[in-house]
Structure 1
Amino acid sequence: MRARLHFRSLESRILTLFMLLIVAVQVIGLLVIQRGIESNARAAIAQELTNGSKVFRRLLDQNAQSLRFGARLLARDTAFVAAIGNNDETDRATIESALANHGRRIKASASMLVSAERTISATTSEVQAAGLKKLVLGMLDQAEASDGANGIGIVDRYPYQVVVMPVKAPIVIGWIVMTFPIDRQIADEMRNISALHTSIVTRDSKGQWLPVGSTFPVPVATELVQHMESAKPGPDGAFEVELADGLYSARRLAIGEDAGQGVSVVLARSFDEAIAEYSRLERWLLGLTVAGIVISASVSVVTAKRIAQPIRELVSVAKRLEKGDYKGQIEFVREDEIGTLAHAFDSMREGIARREQEIRRLAYWDTLTNLPNRAQFVVHLETSIADARKRESSVFVLMMDLDRFKHVNDVMGHTFGDALLRQVAERLQLTLTSRRNTSAQVARLGGDEFAVLLPNCDLQLAQLVARELLASLETPLSLDDQMVDIGAGVGIAGYPLHGDGAEQLMSLAEVAMYTAKQRTEGAVVYDAVFDQSSAQSLSLLTELRNAIERNEFRLFVQPKISLATGKAVGAEALVRWVHPERGNVFPDQFIPFAEQTGFIRVLTRWMMEQSAILSHELASQGIHLKLSVNLSTRDLMDQDLPAKFADVLARHQLGPSAFCLEITESAIMDDPVRAQQTLERLHLMGMDLSIDDFGTGYSSLAYLKRLPVNELKIDKSFVLNMEHDTGDAKIVRSTIDLGHNMGLRVVAEGIESEAVWRLLVLMGCDQAQGYFMSRPIPASGLAQWIRQWQPPDGLAEDPVASAAK
């Protein structure tokens, strides 16, 4: 195990990598050089063989010229010509003597005289005369016409160079014939000139080859002939042959034919000899390679240790950081990248320490008032409830919402409003610390909402503290020479009187707070009658919580269609509740209650989660739609909403552009400033924003134009009857023009007929949804619906391809 870990260390990996690279480069270099040497050697040998063929032919021509010159001297000898003309027995001896003497001088193997009657009248070799007779007689006419001729003849499988020269006095009275053997002598001469091994071979009428003269030893020459018979030479006659003393590249050159027999010369070049001059270079390269590997290995070891040792020290520092030890400084006195890395580690240590402290503060403290935020308040409330459960005591929560704060923000601005919130926080803290019960804790939940935790407190004391807090706010606040009257509504709920959980107590206290604000009664203790249907509403809240845990909610969707192309481009996400006892519970029966109790935030988070799952599944099928999710007033007041959405997107690997968040005009106008802050943060994330049910609220167009929205949805109340109501049609047309002038996408909902569809197309509306296209369907059936959807005539394009785009 230790050896395995050591091999996996950075030092060993660096060394291994360096060594592999060096060896690979050196080996590849050697192979490339060796391949180059071999390629060059083959090219050089091929060129040598080509040149050798030319040289050998030139050598034969030179020999022929020499023979013709010697024969011409004899043919023009006066005494010789006279002897031929006399043609008696005495002159015949003279002719034979002249042929023999002249042949020896020019080293001819045989000399002969052909008479004017074309018969061989004299010869120095009867054997050659008989063997060459046919060839010689066939050359007489050419010799007479060209003042001489030469050719190749074969006698007893031995080749001869034959020269025929006419004897004129002044007409042709005969022909002199001289023969020259093509044997080892010419092969040696060729070897001396070109350094090529030369073999003279003849082929009989049966195709059998015989070496008659070679620079090779006889056994090697015989082996060459045997290989030559089975070799398949290329177009240029070249072939490779493995002989006893090595590999040769050879070329056969045919030099003559005689009576079905042939004579050729085989030129051969040894590969070993051709690359001999490169062998020392290869040895030098091999030596340099080995030396380079040894030197590089040594340098690699030193380099690996220099890199790995400080990194090991930095690893130990990182482990200390992992355990939360940020105290020890990192000290490396180095000027290279390792020193820079060490300095960066030290800066990171200090930065992490600061950020952890800041994160802890931001996670549990409100930056504006320096009070605990909602998260910390919930933690303290859960701890207090657990402690009260052990002691059998009670805990109360006061939830407070300021009156007229929205008006102050709109008139005086956000800076003034922030300063006002800080003064309210100071006044609440001062009021609580003035009491003997110093365990009370105040927190800012968000916006203008505050909460007070009263552990070990009964109902009477909670009501008393609430009255004192309200009284402290009755005194006007002074800011920038401005006197501001501000009040509050306070809701009271406690454990175990009203609920047994932190979230439940806060929800009930919030219900009581809104009741207090509606009745302008100051402080109100929670009562079940405040909820719709009293006890039924209480059970409904519990059932809503259980519905999440038991997965009773179902995601439905209603497709959104592009009116220009008839293609599905999006879908609105809707929720349905399948109750185990009540059956299907319609949204109108539980959504308002969820908004009232604050449970809508949990439901919105569920909707976003399920929509993200659906979007991911559709994308895996090549279908890309923009899913619309509705936000409530409570959602817009949630400062953590953007972070929650970002977490969902990250977990499902989706981009913000996959969603469009729909907000009603009424939700925006309940608190325009806070709503705009939340919307701007969502817009910066890259999410599309849509104003839902446009035209049914009381929003100001001057304010709406400042919102970072991308889409307007015309309420279905204007769309349903626009085919028959010209007033509705005018409103829809004006809204479409307004949206386009503001650079927004316009969506009409509530389309229930093809006539309305075509009216909206004529008006230039961008998208639509309604029963004409599809009622809300289960999310699992959306992909199948897209494949089956067919738009009205004239807009029938492939919906699946459209959705995939």
Structure 2
Amino acid sequence: MRFRSLESRIVTLFLVLLIVVQLVGLLVIQRGIDSNARTSIASELVNGSKVFARLMDQNAQNLRNGARLLSRDAGFLAAIGNTDPDDRATIESALANHGRRIKASMTMLVSPERKVVASTSDAQAAGLEHMVMSMLEKAEQADGANGIAIVERLPYQIVVVPVKAPLTIGFVVMTFPLDERLARDMQETTSLQTLLLTRDSKGNWLPVASSLAPSAVGSIMAQLQGMGRLPSDAFDVDITSDKLSVRMTPIGEDDGQVAVVMLGRSINEATAEYARLERWLLGLTAAGIVVCVVASVLTAKRIAQPLRQLADTAKKLEQGDYKVNIESSRADEIGELAHAFGSMRDGIAKREQEVRRLAYWDPLTNLPNRAQFLLLLNDAIADARKRAGSAYVLMMDLDRFKHVNDVMGHSFGDALLKQVAGRLLQKLANRRHPAQVARLGGDEFAVLLPGSDLDQAVVVASEILQALESPLSLDEQMVDIGAGIGIAGFPDHGMDGEELLSKSEVAMYAAKQRNEGAVVYEDAIDKGSQQSLSLLTELRQAVENNEFRLFVQPKVTLATGRVVGVEALVRWQHPVRGNVFPDQFIPFAEQTGFIRVLTHWVLERSAELCHALAQRGIHLKVSVNLSTRDLLDQELPFKFGEIFMRHHVSPGAFCLEITESAIMDDPVRAQQTLERLHGMGCDLSIDDFGTGYSSLAYLKRLPVDELKIDKSFVLNMANDVGDAKIVRSTIDLGHNMGLRVVAEGIESEAAWHILAEMGCDQGQGYFMSRPMPADQLASWVETWRAPALAE
């Protein structure tokens, strides 16, 4: 069973849960046992202290009774009353005999004058004399007194009884040693270990009597050394193989020495029954773990084995084997999962079949799509490579299909594509060599010609173009449709399918641009395409690296010769190619949308120039060209306004030039943008007027201030009567519409005078000045003199 498998995880989970629960239970039980044991031991020790005190009282009472018997003995009383020395021996004998009967360690007689008359032990009598004398008064008043005395660090229980006849004629004193007998009696009575101790005034402890073994006593004494005050609560001490919970109780004090009894209870003995319970619990836990392991393994196998089978089934499904058998006889959730797997297998098989069809076949025309065509093409190339033959691809794009979609709708366009596909299949069906037609997407089709050479491919392309020349009839509508075809083949133009498709596409776009019908791929075509791909990157870098330069061409009033404005132009100073002419990058910028960036750059630099000229007292109107892309940008007025505010120039200082074709691409949006720009204060000019196809109906609705006559009419105006008429008519048209008229392309003084006579307002051209760097404009304006004024 692998560790990371589901079985191992289920078994591990069961075991961990069981062990955790058992450990928590054992911990709680153990703490409960310890708490209960401690409480029970503490109670036993407290009760033991009371029992010991009672035992001491009983001993004291026994001593007092024995002393009273002696004090009432007639012979003893008579002996005390005589002062004969022989009677003193009688007294000492009586004291010794009576003391032996009650097991007193010392017996003595004290006179009423507080002097020792006789004793059985002079040494003890001397040691006890001080304490005995302090007890006489109390004994006389209470008919007896008892206490604890410590002689030579050994504790004794003392009893003092007065001898009366009837007046007090003396005191009988008896001592009882606190020794091993007392400790054993206490241990037998309470089952508590008993240790009698004394401590001198310096804090040194001395064991007196004990029910413990000597080694245990020595261990306890070592732990008591250094103890200051006696602890009021129970505490633990370690002995040889056990631990005692002990309680120390003082039983007497004599001249700075203290007698103490230590009662102890073995913790092991107190918890012995609980320990047996713990062992039972541990045994039950071990048995439970074994049972849990067996049960969890069986359960895990019952759960994991079907899942493992389903996982193997899933791997086979992943490999595409949809015929694998799935057991689903169980009625539980596993059976439901197996049944769901079976349903999923059937659903995946159906969807994969559909996905495969959609992935490799066009659903509209039922022709192979680009992916399937690429597979067929690579197979044809592999076959041609083996035979040292060739294979060709024709890529075709329909003409005016977008217009058909826009006018007739997409449903009509789809039906048209179906008819084109049918016509291609019909045309290629009777060929001796098989041909495969495919729809690559949109209105693009491709034809694979395996085993064909270039001449045969050109013939097939010509036949396809002829077939498409016949109008298509659809929904009672006759549609004329043409196509541009690109031709590329193996091994002349490429060595794999992707390369051939790419190069045939390049040739197809060349065919559409040249309007030549069919074009065979050439390296020259592709170089132009590669240059176009890199041109956009170079344009972006040109803006970042400040490679563009602002040039201007002055605009002069023809009647007076006064400079009234300039047209802003852009030049590209390429670090490798040198000067790049505008017609080499402006059309591409318009196609890709980069023209918006250029327009923004030109207006930014023009605003800087306008502000700089105004500071020198030169006020000119700057003309900036707008493209179709610019006019479709609804945010253009807002962007221009930001530039005007940033450079502190008035919108009235600018004239925005728009071509007729730019307006006609989207007249509605163009008019909205132009109206907003005109509302800001900018003049608007129609550039290259007369070369487009615009309607005057649109022109009259636009907020235009100026017309610019294209230079193609001005250049030959002096020699071409037709051009002169067009120019005059344009000037009259502009004036009739209240517009300012500007002529481009003035390259001679004669053209100047002719335009002035015709009433043209302004002009620009090489005769006045070629485009110059913007920083040279101010000095040119200061030195400019019109020819008429010079005369």
Among 397, 400, 405, the alignment partner of 1:403 is 400
Letter in 2 for 1:117: E
Instruction: Measure, in 1, the Cα distance between the counterparts of 2:79 and 2:586.
Output: 142
Change (3 A) 1:168 1:541: farther
The residue aligned with 1:526 is 519
Q: CA deviation at 1:301?
A: 4.2
Indicate yes or no: 2:263 matched with 1:264.
no
Q: CA deviation at 1:443?
A: 3.4
Paired residue secondary structure (2:342): helix
The residue aligned with 2:460 is 461
Q: CA deviation at 1:274?
A: 1.1
Instruction: Measure, in 2, the Cα distance between the counterparts of 1:552 and 1:275.
Output: 93
Instruction: Measure, in 2, the Cα distance between the counterparts of 1:13 and 1:580.
Output: 69
Instruction: Measure, in 2, the Cα distance between the counterparts of 1:288 and 1:271.
Output: 25
Instruction: Measure, in 1, the Cα distance between the counterparts of 2:446 and 2:103.
Output: 134
Instruction: Measure, in 1, the Cα distance between the counterparts of 2:323 and 2:424.
Output: 38
Q: CA deviation at 1:507?
A: 4.5
Q: CA deviation at 1:346?
A: 2.0
Offset from partner CA, 1:79-137 (integer Å, 9 cap, x none):
89997996755997998799779878977554444334322234455443222112222
Instruction: Measure, in 2, the Cα distance between the counterparts of 1:168 and 1:192.
Output: 39
Pairing of 1:684-703 with structure 2 (within 5 A) = 697-699=630-632
Indicate yes or no: 2:439 matched with 1:444.
yes
The residue aligned with 1:303 is 299
The residue aligned with 2:191 is 195
Offset from partner CA, 1:432-481 (integer Å, 9 cap, x none):
2322546444433334444444553421321221231343xx33422xxx
Q: CA deviation at 1:22?
A: 5.2
Change (3 A) 1:589 1:299: farther
Change (3 A) 1:129 1:11: same
Pairing of 1:301-700 with structure 2 (within 5 A) = 301-387=297-383, 390=387, 392-401=389-398, 403=400, 405=402, 408-409=405-406, 416-417=409-410, 419-437=411-429, 439-455=434-450, 456=452, 457-471=456-470, 474-478=471-475, 483=477, 485=479, 487-495=481-489, 499-500=493-494, 502-507=497-502, 509-510=504-505, 521=515, 524-526=517-519, 538-539=526-527, 541=529, 697-699=630-632
**Kept after mapping to 2: 8 A contact 1:314/1:342:** yes
Change (3 A) 1:595 1:552: closer
Paired residue secondary structure (1:434): helix
Q: CA deviation at 1:427?
A: 0.5
Q: CA deviation at 1:517?
A: 5.7
**Kept after mapping to 2: 8 A contact 1:109/1:179:** yes
Change (3 A) 1:96 1:700: same
Q: CA deviation at 1:327?
A: 1.3
Pairing of 1:15-30 with structure 2 (within 5 A) = none
Indicate yes or no: 2:278 matched with 1:279.
no
Bigger Cα displacement from structure 2, 26-35 vs 354-363:
26-35
Instruction: Measure, in 1, the Cα distance between the counterparts of 2:578 and 2:147.
Output: 118
TM-score by length of 1: 0.58
Q: CA deviation at 1:591?
A: 12
Instruction: Measure, in 1, the Cα distance between the counterparts of 2:482 and 2:173.
Output: 144
Paired residue secondary structure (2:320): coil
Letter in 1 for 2:419: R
**Kept after mapping to 1: 8 A contact 2:644/2:651:** no
Letter in 2 for 1:60: M
Offset from partner CA, 1:187-224 (integer Å, 9 cap, x none):
2443244321112234568877554433335x456545
Among 122, 125, 130, the alignment partner of 1:134 is 130
Instruction: Measure, in 1, the Cα distance between the counterparts of 2:541 and 2:169.
Output: 125
Instruction: Measure, in 2, the Cα distance between the counterparts of 1:540 and 1:147.
Output: 141
Instruction: Measure, in 1, the Cα distance between the counterparts of 2:343 and 2:460.
Output: 52
Change (3 A) 1:298 1:237: closer
The residue aligned with 1:673 is none
The residue aligned with 1:238 is 235
Letter in 1 for 2:474: L
Aligned residues: 586
Instruction: Measure, in 2, the Cα distance between the counterparts of 1:208 and 1:291.
Output: 55
Indicate yes or no: 2:210 matched with 1:214.
yes
**Kept after mapping to 1: 8 A contact 2:196/2:209:** yes
Change (3 A) 1:404 1:356: closer
CA RMSD of aligned residues (A): 5.6
Paired residue secondary structure (1:152): strand
Change (3 A) 1:730 1:103: farther
Structure 1, unaligned stretches of length 5 or more? 529-533, 559-578, 601-630, 634-661, 666-692, 702-711, 732-805
Instruction: Measure, in 2, the Cα distance between the counterparts of 1:394 and 1:469.
Output: 24
Change (3 A) 1:170 1:421: farther
Larger Rg: 2
Instruction: Measure, in 1, the Cα distance between the counterparts of 2:579 and 2:153.
Output: 114
Letter in 2 for 1:526: V
**Kept after mapping to 1: 8 A contact 2:220/2:239:** no
Change (3 A) 1:313 1:97: same
Offset from partner CA, 1:682-715 (integer Å, 9 cap, x none):
xxxxxxxxxxx999544487xxxxxxxxxx8999
Instruction: Measure, in 1, the Cα distance between the counterparts of 2:543 and 2:136.
Output: 111
Pairing of 1:729-740 with structure 2 (within 5 A) = none
Instruction: Measure, in 1, the Cα distance between the counterparts of 2:80 and 2:216.
Output: 49
Bigger Cα displacement from structure 2, 256-265 vs 62-71:
62-71
**Kept after mapping to 1: 8 A contact 2:155/2:259:** yes
Bigger Cα displacement from structure 2, 364-373 vs 586-595:
586-595
**Kept after mapping to 1: 8 A contact 2:135/2:145:** yes
Change (3 A) 1:585 1:269: farther
**Kept after mapping to 2: 8 A contact 1:441/1:454:** yes
**Kept after mapping to 2: 8 A contact 1:722/1:729:** no
Structure 2, unaligned stretches of length 5 or more? 545-573, 600-625, 656-791
Bigger Cα displacement from structure 2, 83-92 vs 150-159:
83-92
TM-score by length of 2: 0.59
Instruction: Measure, in 1, the Cα distance between the counterparts of 2:628 and 2:60.
Output: 117
Change (3 A) 1:393 1:288: closer
